[in-house]
Amino acid sequence: MNKKKYAVDEASQELIKKAKDDRIETVWDRKKIMKTPCGFGEKGLCCRICSMGPCRISPVTGKGAQKGLCGATADVIVSRNYARMVAAGTAAHSDHGRSIAHVLHMASKDGNYTVKDEEKLIEIADRWGLETEDKNIYDLTHEVAEYALNEYGKPFGNLTLPTFVPDKRKKIWENLGITPRAIDREVVTVMHSTHIGCTADAESMIKMAMRTSLADGYGGSIMGTDISDVLFGTPTVRETEANLGVLDEKYVNIIVHGHEPSLSEMIVLAADDPELLKLAKEVGAEGINIAGMCCTANEVMMRHGVKIAGNFLQQELAVATGAVEAVIVDVQCIFPALSDLTKAYHTKLITTSPKAKISGAIHREFDERTAYESAKSIIKEAILNFESRDKEKIFIPKAKAHAIVGFSYKTILNRLDKVVNSNIDPVGTIKPLADCITSGVLRGAAGVVGCNNPKQTHDQSIIEIIKSLIKKDVIVVATGCAAQAAAKAGLMSKDARKLAGKGLATVCDLVDIPPVLHMGSCVDNTRILNLVGELAKFLNLDISDLPVVGVAPEWMSEKAVAIGTYVVSSGIDTWLGIMPPVIGSREVMDILTNKIEDMVGARFYFEEDPVKAANQMIERIEEKRKILYKKLKNQNLAVEEATVAQN
């Protein structure tokens, strides 16, 4: 290994070495071959939008082309590229949400998919103004599903925003003209406006990107979260383990990888089928071990405690253990490299979605109408593959960590009730959290989200940022691959309380939570929006008044750009640990890191150094606290600062 380590955890390090010994190629090898990334692409200055180009321009050096053939400037090209990233990310989250809505439409009393959380169904129906009284639950289910699907393409009006959005925030969006309309419409509008010969004004383009991102955060992603909760249950606290050490040599190991829980839920269910367990024994295994990867892991872990094999950059390493019978995938974040890689071992790569076929993989289209049987036959294929293992090639690292997970919005409220004096305080409200934050026992909250990226040492920035924050009494909520990094590092265990500052540690003890709360997959960032939205409403403030920050230390996907944009547009300052391709335009840089604050009360920070980023976040949180006090005092709320200065 050269100067920079590839990964921080032992399991990954051991397997990177094994991959090398096995002479297989991983992302880090390909990164070496790739050498320096294209400078134009990196700055956002390459335009492939029409075939007069591609045009690549050099405004930074001032030499060579300064405009594209059509006359597009750096500001135009960069802003268009940025908006397209947001549109693609929004499309991915929202289409995932749509699939789940289709599954909801299919749900029936004796079907493969049923309603697990009726209360949540009714909550959604109420939010959308649907009549719920005296209605057959499955009639209501179909109505809710139809309403959801209509939100994607309704011809008139705006998206039906969730009730947790504070009125002040809605006003801000309205005044800026960025209130989202139908979800698909926003994506299409960006694709249209970025076509040659349309929008050529960076600010207008970025505003369109913001509106589209809001259609993701308050539309498509919410569908993903809320409807999954209806179908599969709203997550509650569970214990699990994380890292590649969860694979077990004696078992048939199956990795579920991708995003949509409709597949993984069935796989988890079917893995308990007596017929399959019998078959597993017959081939010489002790049982079936399902482990998750990426956001699919988060979905099944939150609802069943299924173990986490690893996050994004560990997908190849899992295969390199030589102990995985099948990697079952659906959509998003699946390396095409798995196709060749699995062939170097006995592992089967099984694709299941027509939206993500991979050449060289086995395609077993997952049919939701016969979901259970589909899942069973896929698992069967994995079991029968157990005997093809090459014992010589097996190495499973020991490393794994214990984690307490499953913190949905409701679960957090229920936990907080433990500290409530029910004679005075209403239970089931956000008041205890508001008290912790306004009193200063907790200095603030941070959402640590997003992916892995080989531009950074795997997981390192995520872990460092989280540790710095909790030490300063900032409670961390995490989703996606960042949450898995935290789980693997033991930051979601009881023990992690030792790493927290005094205030946070006290809260953790009282409420019995770890200092880092796993809130789910990336569509579940909506759970965080829900939390901050309700908190702001409770305090009669706007989200931008809260001492709350967001950070994606090692992001890589377009989805992360969409998330970052809706988080900032919601009024939450957001740090990106990987520079997005916008540096080629002075105007776009200025909008995203400065001007946008005048529009929505929050801005982007681009900082690759995790220590610097964490310090900036803490500083910002303290600044926000001062504003918070002023505003609360103006409302004549009696607030007492517990610890005035950060010590």
Element spanning 286, H or E: none
Q: Which does 5 bind (CB under 5 to 8 A by kind): ligand SF4, ligand XCC, none?
A: none
Residue 87 beta carbon to ligand XCC: minimum distance, rounded to whole angstroms: 16
Residue 80 beta carbon to ligand SF4: minimum distance, rounded to whole angstroms: 8
Q: Which stretch binds ligand XCC (CB under 6 A): 112-120, 225-233, 553-561, 584-592?
A: 553-561
- Cβ closer to ligand XCC: 521 or 565? 521
Q: Which does 50 bind (CB under 5 to 8 A by kind): ligand SF4, ligand XCC, none?
A: ligand SF4
Residue 430 beta carbon to ligand SF4: minimum distance, rounded to whole angstroms: 48
Q: Can residue 333 be called a binding residue for ligand XCC (CB under 6 A)?
A: yes
Per CB under 6 A, the list member of 83, 331, 442, 522 interacting with ligand XCC is 522
**Cβ atoms of 580 and 606 closer than 8 Å:** yes
Residue 207 beta carbon to ligand SF4: minimum distance, rounded to whole angstroms: 20
Residue 410 beta carbon to ligand XCC: minimum distance, rounded to whole angstroms: 22
Cβ count near 33 (within 10 Å): 7
Residue keyed to tokens 């029910």: 422
- Cβ closer to ligand SF4: 77 or 513? 77
Residue 258 beta carbon to ligand XCC: minimum distance, rounded to whole angstroms: 8
- Cβ closer to ligand SF4: 84 or 105? 84
Which of 169, 142, 102, 130 lies closest to 530, judged by CA?
169
- Cβ closer to ligand XCC: 162 or 480? 480
Per DSSP, the residues of 386-447 read GGG--GGG-------EEEEE---HHHHHHHHGGGS-TTTSPTTSSHHHHHHHHHTSS-EEEE
Query: Residue 49 burial by CB count (10 A; 0-12/13-18/19+): exposed, middle or buried?
Result: buried
Which of 306, 271, 305 lies closest to 292, judged by CA?
306
Residue 71 beta carbon to ligand SF4: minimum distance, rounded to whole angstroms: 7
Residue 523 beta carbon to ligand XCC: minimum distance, rounded to whole angstroms: 8
- Cβ closer to ligand SF4: 55 or 401? 55
- Cβ closer to ligand SF4: 54 or 284? 54
Residue keyed to tokens 């207008």: 204
Residue keyed to tokens 């309309």: 181
Reduce the DSSP state of residue 136 to 3 states and report it.
Answer: coil
Q: Which does 450 bind (CB under 5 to 8 A by kind): ligand XCC, ligand SF4, none?
A: ligand XCC
For residue 60, CA distances in Å to 65, 201, 293, 598, 612 come to: 11, 19, 40, 27, 26
Find the DSSP H helices in 235-392: 261-270, 274-282, 294-304, 315-320, 338-343, 371-384
Binders of ligand XCC in range 558-597 (CB under 6 A): 559-560
- Cβ closer to ligand SF4: 53 or 305? 53
Q: Which two tokens stand for residue 469?
A: 């924050």
Q: Which does 49 bind (CB under 5 to 8 A by kind): ligand XCC, ligand SF4, none?
A: ligand SF4
Q: Which does 54 bind (CB under 5 to 8 A by kind): ligand SF4, ligand XCC, none?
A: ligand SF4
Binders of ligand XCC in range 424-483 (CB under 6 A): 450-451, 480-481
Residue 64 beta carbon to ligand SF4: minimum distance, rounded to whole angstroms: 14
Q: How far apart are CA 114 and CA 308, in angstroms?
A: 26
- Cβ closer to ligand XCC: 259 or 625? 259
- Cβ closer to ligand SF4: 53 or 287? 53
Binders of ligand XCC in range 280-309 (CB under 6 A): 294-295
Residue 49 beta carbon to ligand SF4: minimum distance, rounded to whole angstroms: 4
Give the rounded distance of the alpha carbon of 258 from its chain centre: 12
Residue 198 beta carbon to ligand SF4: minimum distance, rounded to whole angstroms: 10
- Cβ closer to ligand SF4: 80 or 185? 80
Cβ count near 444 (within 10 Å): 23
Which of 611, 615, 552 lies closest to 578, judged by CA?
552
- Cβ closer to ligand SF4: 68 or 584? 68
Residue 592 DSSP label: I
Q: Which does 72 bind (CB under 5 to 8 A by kind): ligand SF4, ligand XCC, none?
A: ligand SF4
Residue 379 beta carbon to ligand XCC: minimum distance, rounded to whole angstroms: 22
**Cβ atoms of 490 and 316 closer than 8 Å:** no
For residue 521, CA distances in Å to 160, 207, 299, 610 come to: 23, 26, 6, 22
Per CB under 6 A, the list member of 113, 152, 173, 312 interacting with ligand XCC is 312
**Cβ atoms of 334 and 297 closer than 8 Å:** no
Binding mask 243-262 for ligand XCC (x = CB under 6 A): ----------------x---
Per DSSP, the residues of 524-561 read THHHHHHHHHHHHHHTT--GGGSSEEEEETT--SHHHH
**Which residues are bridge partners to 403 per DSSP?**
240
- Cβ closer to ligand SF4: 34 or 65? 65
Q: Which does 559 bind (CB under 5 to 8 A by kind): ligand SF4, ligand XCC, none?
A: ligand XCC
- Cβ closer to ligand SF4: 58 or 540? 58
| Interacting residues of 634 by C-beta distance below 8 A, sequence separation 6+ | none
- Cβ closer to ligand XCC: 434 or 522? 522
Q: Which stretch binds ligand XCC (CB under 6 A): 18-26, 180-188, 552-560, 621-629?
A: 552-560
Binding residues for ligand SF4, per CB under 6 A? 47-50, 52-55, 68-70, 72, 77, 196
Residue 67 beta carbon to ligand SF4: minimum distance, rounded to whole angstroms: 8
| Interacting residues of 9 by C-beta distance below 8 A, sequence separation 6+ | 243, 399, 458, 459, 488, 489
**Cβ atoms of 225 and 233 closer than 8 Å:** no
Which of 466, 569, 566 lies closest to 518, judged by CA?
466
Residue 488 beta carbon to ligand XCC: minimum distance, rounded to whole angstroms: 13
Residues lying near ligand XCC in the complex (CB under 6 A): 259, 294-295, 312, 333, 450-451, 480-481, 521-522, 557, 559-560
